[in-house]
Amino acid sequence: MVVTIYSTPTCPHCIVAKEFFKEKGIKYKDIDVSKDEKAAEEMVRKSGQRGVPVIDIDGKIIVGFERDKVAKLLGIKD
């Protein structure tokens, strides 16, 4: 399973999402779109949104941190 989060360092929802992944033992790739313009463009292509976080779980896109939806896609009970 590939989990990628497009985030910024100051985004509170991004911080909560990354804490959730750590708490559940989920390995993820964190991409800081405030420092990587190409990654920001990729995030917009995938999600149609400029807001963060954008979470990509095996190609399924979640805009924002929806704990229940993320847990379901990860196959974990929360």
**13-68 per-position pLDDT tens digit:** 999 999 999 999 999 999 999 999 999 999 999 999 999 999 999 999 999 999 99
- In this structure, what token pair is assigned to residue 44? 């917009």
Q: What is the pTM of this model?
A: 0.94
Which domain covers residue 49, as residue numbers? 3-27+36-74
pLDDT at 78 > cutoff 80? no
pLDDT at 77 > cutoff 90? no
Q: What is the pLDDT of residue 15?
A: 98
Q: Give Rg (Cα) of the chain.
A: 11
Q: What is the pLDDT of residue 32?
A: 98
CATH code for position 40: 3.40.30.10
Q: Domain count for the chain, please give it.
A: 1
Q: What is the pLDDT of residue 12?
A: 98
